[in-house]
Amino acid sequence: MGGTLLNMLTVLVGGLIGLAVGQRLPARLQEGVVTGLGLVTLVVGLENARQTGNIILPLLATVIGVMIGEALRLDVALERAGAWLQQRAGAGAAGGGQPARERFITGFVTASLVFCVGPLTFTGALQDGMGLAAGFQFLAIKSVLDGFAAMAFAASFGVGVLFTLITILVVQGGLALLGWLLLPLLSDPLALGGTSPMMNEMTAVGGILLIGLALVLLDIKKPRVANFLPALLVAPLLVALAGALGLNIYPL
Domain with 43, as residue range(s), is 2-21+28-241
Range of weakest confidence among 118-127, 138-147, 160-169, 210-219 = 118-127
Residue 121 inside a domain? The answer is: yes
Residue-wise pLDDT for 35-61, tens only, equals 887 888 898 889 889 989 899 999 999
Residue 250 inside a domain? The answer is: no
How would you class 28 by CB atoms within 10 Å of its CB: exposed for 0-12, middle for 13-18, buried for 19 or more?
exposed
The whole-angstrom separation of Cα 141 and Cα 206 is 18
- The answer to whether residue 219 scores a pLDDT higher than 90 is no
Residue 185 has a pLDDT of 55
Average pLDDT over residues 18-40: 81
Q: Is the dihedral of CA 244, 247, 250, 252 positive or negative?
A: positive
| Region for residue 90 given its phi and psi (left: phi exceeds 0; alpha: psi -120 to 50; beta: otherwise) | left
Q: Is the dihedral of CA 165, 171, 174, 179 positive or negative?
A: negative
Percent of the chain exceeding pLDDT 70 equals 87
Average pLDDT, the chain: 82
Domain count, the chain: 1
Give the confidence band of 6 by pLDDT, cuts at 50, 70, 90.
very high
Residue 248 inside a domain? The answer is: no
Residue 47 inside a domain? The answer is: yes
- The answer to whether residue 98 scores a pLDDT higher than 60 is no
Nearest to 192 by CA among 237, 243, 137, 132: 132
